[in-house]
Structure formats: structure tokens, C-alpha cells
């Protein structure tokens, strides 16, 4: 989905720069034209980065997978600052991947910029097909057909002083703590320096843990551990946490994913999550499948009798067959 620039964003853009600025105004226009969201995501699968969120809704993913027409378009109001934040995160990932590549221990998928060939290899020096050295790392694609879940781990390491495992790189800033560690964020609001709060982080944040466990689940028994590398945005200090695979930690997510996958195969609409109490809730009210899910406009009482077999605006038969073939 291409980001849409609202008038308020345009006003901010005009007010940001002085008349003599040359580089930043042109650069911002380039970034805000070119960035697309989720460009490589397949809408026919569930994704760990969504599943680990507290407000993940499997029913929403079900509607998306079967091709239900959306009822509204998300009107994002982007800013160069936010795009800059995303770009900085990608740059931090890239430098660790580059270092692991130079160390000869980086395994995953690679893409040749000359012939577009993709191949799996351990720290290659050139393309396997055309022998060009213009190759880039495409991380570690992961997939579980039965549960209809796919994702990408940041890296896989082979033979690092006898250790094999997955790697996830996370850049940690104030907004990260606001979402992931409210008690630490409150200390910041109370006046404690962010640089001091950094040292209070003693374990991976819960959503990162769930994401890492999902990646291990998709690769087990090949990989039994995942290393989280945290880098502070305040002073570039780093931390590492190595976590072993524990399926019990994500059992509820796997159960939800299986319910969605079975629903796709049988046409049975999954139940809503426990927190979805009414269509006016914050998450449901912004959902692109709200009317379909809540049967808005249906006769009184219809919701109670049709919740598990709700009528759905389906995509084309061809699209449904493609989704089912992936299983």
C-alpha cells in the first residue's frame, strides 16, 4: 500500500525547512515518494511480526488471506522523521549482517544484482550463477505450510566458535521502551536519563521473545537458540541475550494460527480474540474488515446465530485456490 500524504503532512513539510535549505527538502520528497509498506509481504500468510503483538487478530488475517475486499483504506500520515527512523533500523541490521559476512559465518539467502539469481549459501564471495561479486543478503526466509505462517529472521550464523543459531538485531530507543517496557519508560518520564535506563534492560522484551520463539519453531531442530543483539539509540552500547527454544512460550500463538489455517481450508470463520468486545473498540473500529466481521447492517440477533459461520465477502475462486495450494 502506498503511503498517502495528507494536507497536514504537507504543511509540516513546508514549515520544516528554511528558504535556503537545498539537500533535505529534495531528499524528503524522494523518500516519501519511494517508500512502500510491506513490499515483500505475501498477503496469503500470517506473519510473526503481527502475531506477537498484544492486539493480533487471527480473524483479521483470515479475511485477508481468503481475499475479502477491504471496506476502507488506511490513510497514513507519514513524516520524514518516521521514515528516517525506519531507515536507521535497517542500517543497524545491515552493519551486523556485513560484519558476520566478513567473518565467514553468515548463512541465508542471497541475491545477485547482475542476474537476479537467488541462492542459499554461507558467506559467499560471488553469485553461484554468473560469478558476479555484486550480491546482497536477503536474510533467512522461514515458512510453516500447515499453520500458514511465514517470516524472515535477520540472520543465521553457522560455525561461530562452534555455535549455530539465529540472530535478531533490535535498535532500542525511547519509543521502544514505551511500547515494550512501560515501567522503564515511566522511569524516563520521572526524569531518569535514558542512558542510565539502558543498563536496566536485563532480558529480551516480550514481543521480541515471542517473535524469536516463532522463528525457532519454524527452523527447529536445525536451530535451537536465537541471539538477540540490542543496540542503544542513545549511545550505541550493545547487549546480547541468547535464548533457547521453548515451544510452550508460543503455544497460544500456534493455536490461533492453526485455527486460522483450518478456517481457510474449511471456510469456517475463526473466533474473535477475547479483547474484541464490540465493533466500537479502538482496534476493531479501525479494522478494514469491521463491517464483515461484526455483520453490521444484519438483522437484529443475526450476530449471535451466525458468528461461527458468518457470511464472508470472498475473493475470486482462483485466489482461494492459490491460498489453499500453499498449504
pLDDT of residue 23: 83
- Please name the residue that has the C-alpha cell 558476520: 100
Q: How far apart are alpha carbons 253 and 58 in whole angstroms?
A: 9
Q: How far apart are alpha carbons 76 and 4 in whole angstroms?
A: 6
- Please name the residue that has the C-alpha cell 513524516: 79
Stated pTM of the model: 0.81
DSSP letter assigned to residue 196: H
Q: How far apart are alpha carbons 156 and 174 in whole angstroms?
A: 28
pLDDT of residue 265: 97
**Strand partners of residue 111:** 118, 136
- Please name the residue that has the C-alpha cell 475463526: 270
pLDDT of residue 91: 85
DSSP letter assigned to residue 2: B
The structural domains of the chain, with segments of one domain joined by +, span: 108-138
Overall size of the chain counted in residues: 327
Q: Collapse the DSSP code of 97 into the 3-class scheme (helix H, G, I; strand E, B; otherwise coil) and give the result.
A: helix
Q: From first to last of its 327 residues, what are the pLDDT tens digits of the chain?
A: 344 444 455 455 455 555 666 787 777 666 655 554 444 578 999 999 999 999 999 999 999 999 999 987 655 555 656 666 667 777 899 999 999 999 999 999 999 999 999 999 999 999 999 999 999 999 999 999 999 999 999 999 999 999 999 999 999 999 899 999 999 999 999 999 999 999 999 999 999 999 999 999 999 999 999 999 999 998 899 999 999 999 999 999 999 999 999 999 999 999 999 999 899 998 999 999 999 999 886 555 444 333 333 444 455 556 655 665 655
Q: Which residues contact 7 (CB under 8 A, 6 or more apart)?
A: none
Q: How far apart are alpha carbons 271 and 317 in whole angstroms?
A: 23
Tell me whether residue 255 is exposed, middle or buried, using C-beta atoms within 10 angstroms of its C-beta: 0 to 12, 13 to 18, 19 or more: exposed
Return the number of other C-beta atoms located less than 10 Å from residue 25's C-beta.
15
pLDDT of residue 313: 47
pLDDT of residue 3: 41
Q: How far apart are alpha carbons 297 and 11 in whole angstroms?
A: 38
pLDDT of residue 57: 96
Amino acid at each position: 500500500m502506498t503511503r498517502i500524504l495528507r494536507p497536514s503532512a504537507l504543511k509540516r513539510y513546508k514549515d520544516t525547512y528554511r528558504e535556503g535549505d537545498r539537500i533535505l527538502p529534495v531528499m524528503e520528497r524522494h523518500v516519501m515518494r519511494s517508500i512502500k509498506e510491506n513490499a515483500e509481504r505475501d498477503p496469503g500468510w500470517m506473519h510473526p511480526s503481527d502475531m506477537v503483538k498484544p492486539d493480533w487478530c487471527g480473524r483479521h488475517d483470515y479475511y485477508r488471506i481468503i481475499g475479502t475486499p477491504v471496506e476502507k483504506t488506511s490513510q497514513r500520515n507519514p513524516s520524514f522523521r518516521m521514515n528516517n527512523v525506519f531507515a536507521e533500523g535497517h542500517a543497524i541490521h545491515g552493519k551486523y549482517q556485513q560484519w558476520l559476512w566478513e567473518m565467514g559465518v553468515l548463512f541465508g539467502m542471497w541475491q545477485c544484482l547482475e542476474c537476479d539469481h537467488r541462492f542459499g549459501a554461507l558467506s559467499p564471495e560471488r553469485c553461484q550463477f554468473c560469478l558476479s561479486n555484486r550480491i546482497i543478503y536477503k536474510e533467512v526466509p522461514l515458512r510453516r505450510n500447515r499453520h500458514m505462517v511465514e517470516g524472515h529472521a535477520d540472520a543465521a550464523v553457522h560455525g561461530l566458535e562452534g555455535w549455530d543459531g539465529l540472530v535478531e538485531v533490535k535498535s532500542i530507543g525511547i519509543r521502544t521502551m514505551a511500547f515494550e517496557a512501560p515501567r522503564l519508560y515511566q522511569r524516563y518520564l520521572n526524569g531518569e536519563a535514558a542512558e542510565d535506563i539502558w543498563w536496566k534492560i536485563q532480558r529480551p522484551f516480550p514481543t521480541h521473545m515471542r517473535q524469536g520463539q516463532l522463528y525457532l519453531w519454524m527452523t527447529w531442530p536445525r536451530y535451537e537458540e536465537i541471539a538477540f543483539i540490542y543496540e542503544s539509540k542513545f549511545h550505541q552500547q550493545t547487549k546480547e541475550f541468547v535464548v533457547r527454544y521453548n515451544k510452550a512460550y508460543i503455544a497460544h500463538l500456534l493455536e490461533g494460527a492453526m485455527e486460522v489455517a483450518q478456517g481457510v481450508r474449511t471456510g469456517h470463520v475463526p473466533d474473535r480474540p477475547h479483547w474484541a468486545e464490540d465493533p466500537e473498540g479502538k482496534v476493531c473500529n479501525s479494522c478494514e474488515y469491521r463491517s464483515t466481521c461484526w455483520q453490521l447492517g444484519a438483522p437484529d440477533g443475526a450476530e449471535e446465530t451466525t458468528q461461527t459461520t458468518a457470511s464472508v465477502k470472498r475473493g475470486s475462486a482462483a485466489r482461494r485456490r492459490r491460498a489453499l495450494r500453499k498449504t
